[in-house]
Structure 1
């Protein structure tokens, strides 16, 4: 049986996830934020993030409603802290996404509307596959990654953990991108990019 959900955050990304949860007919207890805020779906404000501790890990599941627009450790740190306390993160999958039966999705993965994930792709925990993203066959995406809207990954691409691939980027087949790396919006990646790098342009070059 699905447990009631607490959403961490109340911004735009949280709104997208709220709609997915409502489409899944999940029971949402409310949301957390630094201070009391109005929620556009009428969800209840529960308190700051540490209010989660008032609920047993056996009673609730969490959804991490914080998005990213660049490299950030915030999502990673919140996920790991809550996991260390025994909490589980729900995997959110929009019903208008297409996911291969052989794809593997780790805990807390978020798949938005129009995303396509092809056979034997693997998506790491707490990773965002945003609106309209195409993940082709045999791609390997690490944990805490954000693949921003409209991005295309051809077959066999590897993305290291904690990386951010910007909106509308394209990565050709067999490319490897290291951990904690930023690919700028609209970039076309045709060669490997190392760890803790920034790359922009057509073709993308490290800067």
Structure 2
């Protein structure tokens, strides 16, 4: 049974997720934010993240409504704190995404409209597959990753934990991207990129 949802955050990324949840006909209890804010969808402000503790982990699920524009530890930190308190994060999947029956999705995945995930791809926990992104067959995507809008990953690409793959990037088949690595928007990646790196350009080069 689907449990009621609490959304953490109230910015643009949270708005996208709110629409997905409404399309899924999920019951949204409210959202949390550092201070009281209005919400375009009429979702109730519950308080700061501390307000979540008023709800038992058995009675609600969470959706992490904070996006990223670069490598960041904020999403993973919130995820880990709430998991340590026993809470579960709901998968938030747009009905107009396409997901193979053999794809493997971990907890807290967010898949936006027009995204395509092909056979035997694996997506790690708390990862965003943003609007129109293409994840081809046998890709391995780590935890706390953001695959930004319009990105294409060819077959058997590996993305390490906590990496950010910028808008409109393309990564050719079999390439490996390390952990905590940023691939700049519009880059074309044709060789492996290591851990804790930044790479930009066509073809992408480490900087």
Fold shared per TM-score above 0.5 = yes
1:91 corresponds in structure 2 to: 91
For structure 2, the 5+ residue unaligned runs are: none
2:112 corresponds in structure 1 to: 112
1:65 corresponds in structure 2 to: 65
Deviations 1:94-144 (A, max 9, x none): 000000000000000000000000000000000000000000000000000
Task: Name the CA distance, whole Å, in 2 between partners of 1:40 and 1:12.
Answer: 11
For residue 76 of structure 2, give the secondary structure of its aligned residue in structure 1.
helix
**Equivalences for 1:159-198 in 2 at 5 Å?**
159-198=159-198
Instruction: Note the C-alpha offset of 1:87.
Output: 0.1
Instruction: Note the C-alpha offset of 1:27.
Output: 0.1
For residue 42 of structure 1, give the secondary structure of its aligned residue in structure 2.
coil
Runs (4+) off by over 6 Å? none
For residue 80 of structure 2, give the secondary structure of its aligned residue in structure 1.
helix
**Equivalences for 1:11-50 in 2 at 5 Å?**
11-50=11-50
RMSD of Structure 2 on Structure 1 (CA)? 0.3
Size of the aligned set, in residue pairs, is 207
For structure 1, the 5+ residue unaligned runs are: none
TM-score (norm 1): 1.00
Task: Name the CA distance, whole Å, in 2 between partners of 1:71 and 1:98.
Answer: 26
